[in-house]
Amino acid sequence: MNHTSPRLLVAQTGFLGDVVLTTPLLATLHRHLSPSSLTVMTTPQAKPLLDCHPVVNQVLVDAKHTEGQGLLGLWCMAQRLRRERFTLAVAPHKSFRTALLLLLAGIPRRIGFRQSPGWFLYHHTAIRDPHRHEVERILCIMRVFGLEPEDCDRQPQVAYGHEARGKAEALLHEGEIDGTAPLFVVCPGSVWATKRWTVDGFAEVVKKLHRDYGRVLLCGGPDDIPIAQQVHERSGQCGVNLVGRADLQTFMALVDRARLVISNDSAPMHVAVARHVPVVAIFCATTPSLGYGPYSDRAVVVEKKDLFCRPCGRHGSPTCPRGTDDCMRQVTVADVFAGIDTLIVNAETKRTPVALSVHG
């Protein structure tokens, strides 16, 4: 395909982590197509991830779960897109709704994945390789333009502005954290309960980090407040609990101050990777083999690898199907600190870490 300086729309209305993992595609499209403008359509929650991205000219919000619901919401969003006069749309998000929305918007060239339920509504489709990491699966869409994932930009990237930097500095000042103490960011939340390591486990990690390693920030979104409060209380109120107080851009700025991030398999893990900060990723019900592990050579995965029931679903499950919570309970505090120490030693000796798998 050969399109000179298209008015480009990229449609990605998946979860926060999906949006972070789409950013290499944005950089690749910008470099390969030199669009006259690059707009991303995403969710209200994910918009801050892209507002300051260096190749994104505009972010449009598709509130598909609120005022954008149903046929009327779909039609109104399509008319909004039509007014933008896009000449090319690329849809890494595989939903039928996305394919239909781009058709109704009248965009003259539309590209999506063959695995999309709405594949027949696209002019060109590419095959996603299921055996790759999600970053590379998304980049498979560049096959339409003659590129393989190996030919593409593959580093996730998110950015923030001066206001977020100022908010982060204010929160650190409030917590009496200066620029000299080693700082660790701990993110105990996740949308899915079986992707969350135990409250007691996180509390012990926070307590030991605070005692032996440096200052600790508890971070997460508003939905993570109940979990974070429990972790904070059981740790003896060690660290500074900022859960629900830092928006996404401010969180990025806080992550930039961290020596490393400790997170469940969730969006903060991907944000840390996109900000080039080392991450200890705790995998409970899910596994990196699903393609959503930390896409970084400065990451350690901690997991109970030999459980036959893992993964119990692409996103885990609301509750443990076996009623044992083994994938959460059998990951120990010692396992997590083995990962933390590995990253600290590797940072000091400039070595590349390898994934740590925990065996019972």
* pLDDT tens track for 295-324: 999 999 999 988 999 999 888 888 899 999
Rounded-to-integer distance, Cα 271 and Cα 251, Å: 9
3-state DSSP call for residue 335? helix
What's the average model confidence in pLDDT over 192-204? 95
Rounded-to-integer distance, Cα 315 and Cα 60, Å: 27
- Name all domains of the chain by residue range, CATH numbers in brackets: 7-151 (3.40.50.2000), 162-349 (3.40.50.2000)
**Would the pLDDT of 360 be above 50?**
no
Q: 16-37, pLDDT tens digit by residue?
A: 999 999 999 999 999 999 999 9
Average pLDDT across the chain, whole number = 93
Which strands form 110-113's sheet, in the order they lie side by side?
A: 58-61, 37-42, 7-11, 88-90, 110-113, 124-126
- DSSP result, 29-47: HHHHH--SEEEEEE-TTTH
User: 73 versus 253: which is more confidently predicted?
Assistant: 253
Q: Name the residue with tokens 């046929």.
A: 71
What's the average model confidence in pLDDT over 250-265? 97
Per-residue pLDDT, 180: 80
Per-residue pLDDT, 351: 61
Under the banding of pLDDT at 50, 70 and 90, the label for residue 153 is very high
3-state DSSP call for residue 152? coil
Burial class (CB in 10 A: 0-12, 13-18, 19+), 351: exposed
What's the average model confidence in pLDDT over 165-174? 95
**Would the pLDDT of 287 be above 90?**
yes
**Would the pLDDT of 206 be above 60?**
yes
**Would the pLDDT of 356 be above 90?**
no
Q: 216-236, pLDDT tens digit by residue?
A: 999 999 999 999 999 999 999
